[in-house]
């Protein structure tokens, strides 16, 4: 258990400085670490009976940048302890496979068909589709843009922050912006969505945390399940949940009009192979 004490030690070092509300937060963290990792900041503050701002001040007071960092460190320390319990390769494989099964089951339970239908309707009804993401979310944005393009949508993934803001300034009511941020805290994506929305664009967010900053500038939020609660979540790609939802969206689009989209896909691939033959 030696690696799980960093958050607890910080709490103990500052214990004598806590207010009455901060003591309530301390007691809750010490007794409900699993709840802290599985729920949003809004849920946690409501459960304790304090404000989101009080949670943030508590985390800063004991040496973190905010409550999200406290929760991240707590998550990493918990995972390290779990991994150290059994490090044989056979056990790791079994646990990873089990986590994937749990992850898919959780995603299936979480998906709201009305939200997916809303997104698909937007894809069909807006002239231009812009997908904003940075880092790991940027890689997913490129994948989403590529796959939508193959089906004939005018889609463009933008992952460079300056280009993203420039693009957002030229958006209008014909544009759909899909902002991808699993943490909900990617400032460049959020700022670009804010700009685009002010120009008349429709905005949709793909995120783990619906009550995070990105939600303020989103007309619709598509919740992506977090991998952080899984035993082997530290080793699972953050893009897995996004890819699962994208596969579902693409499948629904194609199967709603298979003749149209299979022919479009065939023509696209035929064009690619024809170009290859000319080289």
Q: Indicate the domain borders of the chain.
A: 2-85, 108-276
- Give one DSSP letter per residue of the chain, joined into a string: -GGG-HHHHHHHHTGGG--HHHHHHHHHHHH-HHHHHHS-HHHHHHHHTS-HHHHHHHHHHTT-SSHHHHHHHHHHHHHHHHHHH---HHHHHHHHHHHHHHHHHHHHHH--HHHHHHHHHHHHH-SEEEEE--THHHHHHHHHHHHHHHTT--EEEE-SHHHHHHHHHT--TTEEEEEE-SSS--HHHHHHHHHHHHTT-EEEEEES-TTSGGGGG-SEEEE---STTSTTGGGS-TTHHHHHHHHHHHHHHHHHSHHHHHHHHHHHHHHHHHHHHH-
Cα–Cα distance list, 277 to 140, 141, 150, 263, 269 (Å): 30, 30, 20, 21, 12
Please answer whether residues 11 and 43 qualify as being in contact, where contact means their C-beta atoms are separated by less than 8 angstroms: no
pLDDT of residue 104: 84
Please answer whether residues 181 and 205 qualify as being in contact, where contact means their C-beta atoms are separated by less than 8 angstroms: yes
Query: CA 273 to CA 275: how far, in whole Å?
Result: 5
pTM > 0.85: yes or no: no
Orientation of helix 240-256 relative to helix 258-278, angle to 10°: 110
Question: Half-sphere exposure of residue 98, counting CA atoms within 13 Å on the CB side?
Answer: 9
Query: CA 228 to CA 106: how far, in whole Å?
Result: 12
The architecture in CATH of the region 2-85 reads: Orthogonal Bundle (1.10)
Query: CA 48 to CA 189: how far, in whole Å?
Result: 31
Q: What is the pLDDT along the chain (279 residues), one digit of tens a residue?
A: 344 457 877 887 787 788 999 999 998 988 888 888 888 888 999 999 999 999 999 999 998 888 988 888 888 777 666 665 555 556 778 888 888 888 888 888 888 899 999 999 999 999 999 999 999 899 999 999 999 998 999 999 999 999 999 999 999 999 999 999 988 889 999 999 999 999 999 999 999 888 888 999 999 999 887 776 666 666 778 788 899 999 999 999 999 888 887 777 667 666 666 655 555
CATH topology of domain 108-276: Rossmann fold (3.40.50)
Q: Judge if 2-85 and 108-276 fold alike in CATH terms.
A: no
Instruction: Name residues whose C-beta falls within 8 Å of residue 272's C-beta, 6 or more positions apart in sequence.
Output: none
């Amino acid at each position: 258990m030696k690696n799980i004490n960093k958050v607890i030690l910080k709490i103990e070092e500052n214990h004598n400085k806590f207010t009455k509300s901060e003591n309530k937060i301390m007691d809750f963290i010490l007794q409900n670490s699993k709840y802290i990792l599985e729920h949003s900041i809004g849920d946690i503050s409501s459960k304790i009976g304090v404000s989101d701002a009080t949670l943030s001040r508590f985390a800063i007071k004991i040496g973190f940048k905010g409550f999200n960092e406290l929760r991240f460190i707590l998550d990493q320390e918990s995972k390290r302890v779990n991994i150290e319990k059994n490090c044989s390769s056979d056990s790791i494989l079994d646990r990873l496979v089990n986590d994937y099964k749990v992850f898919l089951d959780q995603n299936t339970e979480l998906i709201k068909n009305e939200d997916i239908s809303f997104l698909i309707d937007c894809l069909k009804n807006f002239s231009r589709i812009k997908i904003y993401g940075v880092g790991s979310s940027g890689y997913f944005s490129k994948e989403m843009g590529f796959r939508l393009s193959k089906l004939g949508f005018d889609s463009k993934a933008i992952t460079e922050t300056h280009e993203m803001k420039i693009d957002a300034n030229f958006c209008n009511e014909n544009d759909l912006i899909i902002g991808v941020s699993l943490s909900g805290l990617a400032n460049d994506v959020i700022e670009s969505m804010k700009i685009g929305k002010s120009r008349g664009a429709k905005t949709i967010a793909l995120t783990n945390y619906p009550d995070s900053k990105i939600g303020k500038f989103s007309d619709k939020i598509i919740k992506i399940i977090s991998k952080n609660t899984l035993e082997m979540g530290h080793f699972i790609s953050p893009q897995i949940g996004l890819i699962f939802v994208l596969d579902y969206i693409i499948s629904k689009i194609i199967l709603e009009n298979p003749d149209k989209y299979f022919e479009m896909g065939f023509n696209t691939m035929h064009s690619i192979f024809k170009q290859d033959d000319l080289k």
